[in-house]
Copies of this chain bind each other. A is one copy, B any other.
Amino acid sequence: MKLFRTLIPLDEALKTVLSYAKRTEIEEFRFDDALNRVLAEDVCSPADSPPFDRAAMDGYAIKGEDSFGASQNNPVFLRKKSRRGEKEKEKEKENEIEIGEGEYLHIQTGMQLPKGSNAVVMLEYAKERGTELELFKPVTPGKNVSFKGEDVKKGEEVLKEGRLLRAHDIGMFASLFKTKVKVYKRAKVGIISTGDELLDPKESFEGEKKIADVNSYVLEALLKKIASPYRIGIVRDDYEEIKNAIRFSLEEGCDGLLISGGSSVGKRDFIADVVEDLGKLVFHGVAIRPGEPTGFGVINNKPVFVLPGYPVATISAFEMLVRPFLYAIHGVKEPRGKIFAMASKKIPSAVGRTDFVRVKLLCTENGYYAEPIRVSGSGILSSMTKSDGFVVIEENKEGVEEGEKVEVNVWEW
């Protein structure tokens, strides 16, 4: 039985892993299929938005100057812009109608302001009688008008490369008539679980002592939002079988691999040996808890993560090393969602090791509290489902005191 190898600090492991990150290719998508994809170009507006000065309110378009001096007791009277026959109607349709001094015209929110006008009087502040408008309040020029280019100017950058596209961005593309968008291609990531004791939960459940393959399903679900997972399934604890599974996944076009050990040890080194055999094992053993037996290697220029057998340890290693790697290759520039909270109780931690502490967030009048979930081994999957996120306790820190401020990384899906 081998002793634990030397553990390298998390920051060193992360730096190493990121040094192997190569950006994925760029592909073009229809804008409305690009939700949750990472933008691979800077998007600038091809035109002003709004494309013309328009009414921001329902009301009457006027020359603001005409209203000066108006009051409840001394109203100003304006004439309705007369529409002489079809030609004028045509003009109005094309927004070419022009308002002269002392004139007004009905206008609705979003309509182009007629030439000559520069303000909109709200319905409440005027009374229309036939073709005359009684105005009780002065209106400064520009009032209730959305000016051309006020939202976005022609050529202005509206979305930056690296943006994880959300619903509003899809709307922004629509508004700019940008029908094709460049996004980073999702890496195809193979997922292998190893272990003689593992049973696929979809197979029939015989007896109480079987251990389900949890890792391949959790990793698949975690990958879904950012990459293209390819779940290969369970491979027995056999050197040649593991070797063949790795070869198979690379032949199937996987851009990278996540291989996790069974729930017992020993076979970890075993996987590492296969990686070393087929390519290069870059490191094995990281000072994080849970997740110590995490390793990283390269086969045919493809990254291979060697993950622990216990689900919580695998999730810990995923969040600490695999997710940053995936963000790097997919060009995600935004930070993860973080919330500051006070530790509701002391959280012990050993110096020389980075701890991954699952916490529940409690929202109170005085702000957020982070309640550490009782931890007693990385087999405790309920510590994940009960938590809202995790706190990283750095290597050189001897735990966190009650009431101390911590940064909570909220789970992402």
| Interface set of A (CB-CB < 8 Å, partner B) | 1, 3-4, 30-32, 35-36, 47-52, 54, 56, 58, 95, 106, 108-112, 123, 146, 150-152, 158-159, 166-179, 201-202, 205, 208-215, 217-218, 220-222, 224, 262-266, 309-311, 315, 337-340, 363, 367-368, 376-377, 379-385, 410-411, 413
Contacts and interface: CB of A to CB of B under 8 A. Distances in A.
A224 B49 CA distance: 27
Nearest to A215: B171
A166 B224 CA distance: 11
Contacts of A202: 30, 179
Given A158-B385, A179-B201, A224-B35, A171 B214 contact: yes
Given A146-B376, A179-B201, A208 B51 contact: yes
Contacts of A158: 382, 385
A170 B49 CA distance: 44
A58 to B, nearest CB: 5
B385 A168 contact: yes
Contacts of A376: 56, 146, 150
A311 B166 contact: no
Given A56-B376, A379-B50, A178 B151 contact: no
Contacts of A151: 379-383
A283 B372 CA distance: 46
Contacts of A159: 385
Contact of A174 (B178, B212, B368, B383): B212
Nearest to A206: B177
25 contacts: A3-B123, A31-B201, A48-B208, A51-B209, A95-B209, A109-B264, A110-B211, A146-B376, A146-B377, A152-B381, A159-B385, A166-B411, A168-B218, A168-B411, A171-B217, A171-B218, A172-B382, A175-B214, A177-B205, A177-B210, A177-B212, A337-B410, A339-B339, A340-B367, A367-B367
B311 A340 contact: no
A169 to B, nearest CB: 6
Contact of A310 (B110, B212, B367): B110
A258 to B, nearest CB: 13
Of the candidates A49, A95, A224, the one having the most CB atoms from chain B within 10 angstroms of its own CB is A49
Given A167-B413, A170-B217, A340-B368, 9 more contacts: A49-B381, A51-B209, A109-B265, A110-B379, A146-B376, A152-B382, A168-B384, A170-B221, A340-B367
A267 to B, nearest CB: 9
Contacts of A30: 202
B265 A110 contact: yes
A369 to B, nearest CB: 12
Contacts of A339: 339
Given A111-B264, A168-B385, A265-B108, A379 B214 contact: no
A80 to B, nearest CB: 12
A379 B32 contact: no
- Considering the complex of A and B, which 6 residue pairs feature the smallest CB-CB distances, nearest first? A110-B263, A171-B218, A167-B221, A168-B384, A108-B265, A56-B377
A222 B168 CA distance: 8
A171 B381 contact: yes
Nearest to A159: B385
A305 B221 CA distance: 33
A201 B176 CA distance: 8
